[in-house]
Chains A and B, each alone.
Chain A
Amino acid sequence: MSDTPRRQRITVEDIGDIAVVQFVDKKILDEQNIAMIGDDLFRLVDELGRRKLLLNFSNVEFMSSAALGKLIRLHQRMTQVGGKLVMCAIAKDIMTVFVLTKLDKMLKIVKDEQTGLNSF
């Protein structure tokens, strides 16, 4: 088994009982990377028991439909465990994708991190 450390793709800051997640890479939410990032996000819920997740997209410049699928699954998982998922600071072009796919109606999306923290 390899001893090579796994590259960190998200950072997590705890503000009270809310886990605020930032993405490390700018163009990360594409088909190749989203599987690994998804693993990290689900680990927060399933292994670390986090029930309040705020995803801060301020570092994200690009996102494909693969990421949308992962976010839907994460939202579903949070709902199953009685938790809440909020997303904030989504760039204009990426927000267009959420609106086009009508996922802005299903997922909780707010303007900025403070608004996100206040929404729990």
Chain B
Amino acid sequence: MSERHVTRDFTLLSDLSEVHRVQAEIEEALQSNRFGDSDVFAIKLAVEEALVNAIKHGNQMEPDKTVRVGYSVTDEQFSIRIEDEGLGFSPAEVPDPTAEENIERPCGRGLLIIRNFMTSVDYVGRGNVVVMFKIRDPEPAE
């Protein structure tokens, strides 16, 4: 499969059904740039969590609000910027979902997952913009 560096910028509606489409596009670009299965899983998961956060928490599912997405895939790394129109938040104020008092809560794990599955994650501005990247594992496990 030949390498194909991909860069895309677009705007999504605050509609969870859009997440699948974005994931499928990104997966195809990752595979054409020889990302292994675990990297693809990690990126798809982090992208899902970040987009759902932007739509559900940032934009409060309001249909007149949009999410701006820009991503790039090369044979060395994947990077993405996701911006919602919400009020923002402080990641430091999100409770630790692995703490004993929180472990049985049904929500609140998205940020933990994103941080652990990507090489780098930064929240910009008032917290309504997330920028993250993942360096390709050059020797993915068979």
Q: How many residues of A contact B (CB 8 A)?
A: 20
B103 contacts across to A, CB distance below 8 A: 102-103, 106
Does A62 lie at the interface of the complex (its beta carbon under 8 Å from any beta carbon of B)? yes
B113 contacts across to A, CB distance below 8 A: 65, 97, 100-101
Chain A min CB distance to B94 (Å): 13
Q: How many residues of B contact A (CB 8 A)?
A: 26
Q: Are A102 and B98 interface neighbours, CB within 8 A?
A: yes
Does A9 lie at the interface of the complex (its beta carbon under 8 Å from any beta carbon of B)? no
B48 contacts across to A, CB distance below 8 A: 30-31, 64
A100 contacts across to B, CB distance below 8 A: 112-113, 116
A32 touches which of B17, B37, B49 (Cβ 8 Å): B17
A65 to B45, CA, bound (A): 9
| Binary interface encoding of chain B residues 85-119 relative to chain A, with 1 for a CB under 8 A from any of its CBs, else 0 | 00000000000011000011111011011001000
Chain A min CB distance to B28 (Å): 14
Q: Are A65 and B49 interface neighbours, CB within 8 A?
A: yes
Q: Are A31 and B110 interface neighbours, CB within 8 A?
A: no
Q: Nearest A residue to B37 by beta-carbon distance?
A: A93
Q: Nearest B residue to A63 by beta-carbon distance?
A: B45
Chain B min CB distance to A14 (Å): 28
Q: Which of A48-56, A70-78, A82-90, A108-116 is the contact stretch?
A: A70-78
Q: Nearest A residue to B41 by beta-carbon distance?
A: A93
What residues of chain B have their CB less than 8 Å away from a CB belonging to chain A? 16-17, 19-20, 37-38, 41-42, 44-45, 48-49, 52, 56, 97-98, 103-107, 109-110, 112-113, 116
What residues of chain A have their CB less than 8 Å away from a CB belonging to chain B? 30-32, 62, 64-66, 68-70, 72-73, 76, 93, 97, 100-103, 106
